[in-house]
Amino acid sequence: MEIFPLQTGSVKVKKAQKSREKGGMLRVLTSEKWTDWLPIYAWLIKHPEGTFVVDTGETSLTSRSGYFPKWHPYYRYAVKMDVSRDDEIDRQLARYNVDSKDVDKVILTHFHTDHAGGLYHFSNSDILVPKSEYQNAKGTIGKLRGYLPQHWKDWFKPDEIEFKKQNYGPFAESYPVTKDGSIMAVPTPGHTPGHLSVVADTGDKKVFLAGDTSYTEQLLINLQPDGVTPDTKQSLDTQMKILKLAEQGPVIYLPSHDPEASRRLSTNKTLAV
């Protein structure tokens, strides 16, 4: 099995989102301190059972007026995107000689725009999403929460992952993505209540495709929740489980917006706990 980074452009958020400050979400909206440009990673896994993609990154359509709802305070005050057409996931996959139409399965960590924005490239693929996250992202309530279901295509009918009561290290539930069990999904709620992560076991290590369980590896080690999580206790519980998994064996921890993630993957730098 081989794993490759797909950088689908960059995003800027508030520092108070990257690392939670007093006031939580309100602080995210009102603060004027921005992060540097952060990468938006998705991941390609070439596996004997097929070609897998974890998250779909962001779309260049975000630069069009009206793509983001102007009435929504988060889009109005708290996020900036830099995504060109060449940054989109189909072009990033082409760099590894993969046509997006040949991807067998796409697994979404969660439905935030910078993870789900490239979904429309995968009309041919099975799309696996966490069941509760999908339910939360749908419809008017989903829009109020900041999801963008209005951009889903008519053909979008994902397979909803229901976790099985089968423990995987410190995680009490899991879901096998491949028949051989070398790619697993585990529930990692916190950043969103339905968030999942994907673990690819290469034999000598586990590559933890973390989504937004933290914005950097250091913030995980510091057990630092982000500023948008609705449940900091849940977020900390998830972070502690990831650290516990890394105590049980070598783990390369790859959050979606960590500028060091791609380098850690290429140099096999494991999480030191």
Q: Which is nearer to Zn ion, 58 or 212 (CB)?
A: 212
Q: What φ, ψ does residue 203 adopt, rounded to 5°?
A: 105, -55
CB nearer to Zn ion: pick between 90 and 212: 212
Per CB under 5 A, the segment of 17-25, 90-98, 168-176, 205-213 that binds Zn ion is 205-213
Q: Nearest-CB residue to Zn ion?
A: 112
Closest CA to 214 of 241, 184, 250: 241
Q: Which of 224, 200, 204 is nearest to 214 (CA)?
A: 224
Q: Compute the least distance from the CB of residue 114 to Zn ion, in Å.
A: 7
Q: Which position among 87, 90, 133, 212 is part of the footprint of Zn ion (CB under 5 A)?
A: 212
DSSP code per residue over 181-224: SSEEEEE--SSSTT-EEEEEE-SS-EEEEEETS-SSHHHHHTT-
Binding-site size, Zn ion (CB under 5 A): 2
Residue number, 18 or 112, with CB nearest to Zn ion:
112
Name the minimum Å distance from CB 69 to Zn ion. 17
DSSP 68: S
- Taking the complex as a whole, the smallest distance from the CB of residue 212 to Zn ion amounts, in Å, to 4
* Main-chain phi, psi angles of 104, to 5 degrees: -75, -50
Gap between the Cα atoms of 220 and 271, Å rounded: 10
Q: Which is nearer to Zn ion, 111 or 171 (CB)?
A: 111
- Ranges within 89-148 binding Zn ion (CB under 5 A): 112
| 58 lines the binding site for Zn ion (CB under 5 A) | no
Strands of the sheet with 196-201, listed across from one edge: 175-176, 183-187, 196-201, 206-211, 251-255
- The DSSP element (H or E) to which 81 belongs, if any, is strand 79-82
Residue nearer to Zn ion on the CB measure, 105 or 112 = 112
Q: Which is nearer to Zn ion, 14 or 112 (CB)?
A: 112
Binding region for Zn ion (CB under 5 A): 112, 212
